[in-house]
Amino acid sequence: MTTSRLPYQDPRLPTAERVRDLLERMTLSEKLGQLNQVRADQAGVALVRTQAKAGLVGSRILASTAFAGNEAQLVAELEENNTVQRIACDESRLGIPILNGRDVIHGYRTIFPIPLGQAASFDPELVEQAAKHAAAEASAHGVHWTFAPMLDIARDPRWGRIIEGCGEDAYLTSALGAAMVRGFQGVDPSEPGRVLACAKHFLAYGTSEGGRDYASGECSDHTLRNVYLEPFRAAVRAGCATVMSAFHNINGEPVSGSHYLLTRVLKDELGFQGFVISDWAAVTEMIVHGAAENDADAAVKALTAGVDMEMVTGTFVAHLEAALANGQIDAARLDDAVARVLRAKFQKGLFERPYLDTTRATSSLLSPAARATARTLATRSLVLLKNQDSLLPLAKEGRRIAVLGPLASAQGELMGSWVFDGVASDVTSIVDALGESAPKLKFSTAPLMLDAQVQAAQRADVAIVVLGESPLRTGEANNIADLSLPRDQEVLLEALYRTGTPIVAVIAAGRPLPIGSVLERAQAVLYAWHPGTEGGRAIADVLFGDACPSGKLPVTLARSLGQVPIFYNHKNGGRAVNGYYPFFAPTHHGIRPYLDELATPLFPFGFGLSYTRFGYSDISIDRSEIARDERVKVSALLTNHGERSGAEVVQCYVRDYVGSVTRPVRELKGFRRVELGPAESARVEFELGPDELAFWNNSGKREVEPGRFGVWIGGSAYAELGTEFQVR
């Protein structure tokens, strides 16, 4: 225990000075301790306490299994957090506090839509707000650090982890990822109610072959940088405190052993100043990958590559002392890793406020403000895909409505995967929410037996059928080989269709499913993702028209599994002839159809209907030519031609026609959510400059190249209203 105040304990000194002072006082074993993250329950609480006293615990992960996303976890034990912290602060030689990490992915107790659903809102302010609420609830329970945002671009919906990211687009993921970082960390992460963020999984984890989680990936440096790296560049710019190195093997190297990715690209090129944590057991898994001989070898390779803290496998503590003595690791690299971890602890204000105020914990949960944000965000995440004869919105009286399908009364399932602290009973089911919203209507439900469901549909004027996925089919390690709806749901839908009662299908799912059969049978289709605690109410708000749908697809919706991978920002084929192929679509004219399937998707990226009708006209550009470092302003007139107010996510796409390397047919480079009353118009402007127009070319730089650019403004990746400009 330390008594008089030492320089590193003095909050008035600059962080760099405190880090330097502390580092100079540390023994080798204490340094390695800072690089060690232990499971809160590892080999019993008693061992963690002993290790903490010896200064061997840098961080605790408040989780109890490797399948963290899919299994119930130990709760964040408030008293135990303080007990272990007290040992670290008062009984260890230097009193360095422990950093507690936990997966707070889309909410703590108040569960927001799955990140893929949040992405459909195209609303960075609201997404930031949600992360802020999650941080407030989590930090009141002793969590200092969350392992989010997940920034993996996903182009394969078989991969269960597609739910955790923002979809297929680098620009959208960058904007929302940065918003999440700001929401978690605030301007100053040491403020109460904030947590450190962790951008993961660096890098290109979404390339796993066949959509099989943990499988290896192959990806050219060109795509790695222009697609997968972009969101991490944005997160680093937003000041994200930590980055997680992925488990997988890419281009022949496990990421957690890749000096190229962790040190050259992340730390040197992007200038990342925070620390890198390896994903769960990623260091020892290098042995299984065939990239390390044993634990000692794996530890040396991971530290040398650029991993700063090791999650749960303890090889740094066990082996790096000998490795240093043998000259296998560099002392300066080791100090750099320790300095990075200490900096984050100072940044979090842990030395000043290591303990948790346990009295704040419960009162901070499920606040009306958090619930309101969850409801608005869920509402904005809902994507209306079809609304034949304006069946929606439904009137609140005068009709008999049957609420059917396997998820009609679901509560926990609406929260989705990666929920440790959400409670099913906090969730209002869709059927209950509909009843709350329209007390004058008569709703019927039925047991999930075909005959009962059919009879309920026969006796109703409209059937709301809630289909989709169990969260158990999504998230970590949960991949599927067949993207269709579970077979029993197809059978149910067909039987309900035959009753002739109009069907409103609500799809609650963790991935974009090829729902062609649903589109054929239902008059209206609302894609709801897994919408969280307030999801039922959000769905009722939209179905009854208290809210106007405005969500847009953050991923392309394929017609069938055989089209995967299918994404809007692909390269043009060499035999692209506009209009030559049947079912021409502006982003798919370079793709040859299959003999047994079209080239175009069911719905393009960015698509989503409204209850009102928006039109785009009068595109204008302030300059026809700019220099490489200049900016151009492009705008279009958005008009609400319908009879009700609504919001439209206006999107701006760019194409660089000729480059030193080939460029995608279109790329999203701006978006804005605009609310308009009936018959109102607004001019919506986007500015395009070096950040939007540059790309990584073969000179190893991110630059703007001269030439002709196309630009389109509209309501999806198929936007037709376009113009051009030149960069000289």
Q: Which residues are catalytic?
A: 279
From 678, 691, 684, select the one nearest 715 (Cα to Cα): 684
Segment 75-114, which members bind ligand NOJ (CB under 6 A)?
103
User: Closest separation between CB of residue 582 and ligand NOJ, Å?
Assistant: 42
Measured in degrees and rounded to the nearest 5, phi and psi for residue 371 equal -65, -40
How far is Cα 134 from Cα 115, in angstroms, rounded to an integer? Answer: 13
Residues contacting residue 12 through CB under 8 Å, at least 6 positions apart: none
User: Closest separation between CB of residue 68 and ligand NOJ, Å?
Assistant: 3
Q: Is 169 a binder of ligand NOJ (CB under 6 A)?
A: no
Quickly count helices (H) and strands (E) in the chain. Answer: 21, 26
Q: Is 63 a binder of ligand NOJ (CB under 6 A)?
A: yes
Q: Is 529 a binder of ligand NOJ (CB under 6 A)?
A: no
CB closer to ligand NOJ, 9 vs 42: 42
Contact 267, 229 (CB under 8 A): no
Phi-psi region of 707 (alpha: psi -120 to 50; beta: other; left: phi over 0): left
CB closer to ligand NOJ, 147 vs 527: 147
DSSP, collapsed to helix, strand or coil, labels residue 117 as helix
Q: Is 280 a binder of ligand NOJ (CB under 6 A)?
A: yes
CA distances (Å), origin 458, targets 453, 502, 524, 577: 9, 10, 18, 49
User: Closest separation between CB of residue 156 and ligand NOJ, Å?
Assistant: 17
CB closer to ligand NOJ, 89 vs 311: 311
Binding map of ligand NOJ across residues 125-154, x = CB under 6 A, - = no contact: ----------------------x-------
> Please, which residues bridge with residue 176 across strands?
none
Binding map of ligand NOJ across residues 476-505, x = CB under 6 A, - = no contact: x-----------------------------
Binding map of ligand NOJ across residues 348-367, x = CB under 6 A, - = no contact: --------------------
CB closer to ligand NOJ, 162 vs 456: 162
CB closer to ligand NOJ, 284 vs 373: 284
User: Closest separation between CB of residue 654 and ligand NOJ, Å?
Assistant: 32
CB closer to ligand NOJ, 30 vs 285: 285
Measured in degrees and rounded to the nearest 5, phi and psi for residue 572 equal -75, 145
Q: Is 420 a binder of ligand NOJ (CB under 6 A)?
A: no
How far is Cα 139 from Cα 719, in angstroms, rounded to an integer? Answer: 43
From 693, 547, 534, 519, select the one nearest 611 (Cα to Cα): 547
User: Closest separation between CB of residue 256 and ligand NOJ, Å?
Assistant: 12
User: Closest separation between CB of residue 86 and ligand NOJ, Å?
Assistant: 25
CB closer to ligand NOJ, 449 vs 477: 477
| Strand extents, DSSP E, 410-486 | 442-444, 462-468
For 164, half-sphere exposure in the C-beta direction (CA atoms, 13 angstrom radius) is 28
Q: Which of 68, 104, 370, 717 binds ligand NOJ (CB under 6 A)?
A: 68
Residues contacting residue 34 through CB under 8 Å, at least 6 positions apart: 26, 58, 96, 309, 338, 341, 342
Segment 182-221, which members bind ligand NOJ (CB under 6 A)?
200
Q: Which residues bind ligand NOJ (CB under 6 A)?
A: 63, 68, 103, 147, 200, 279-280, 476
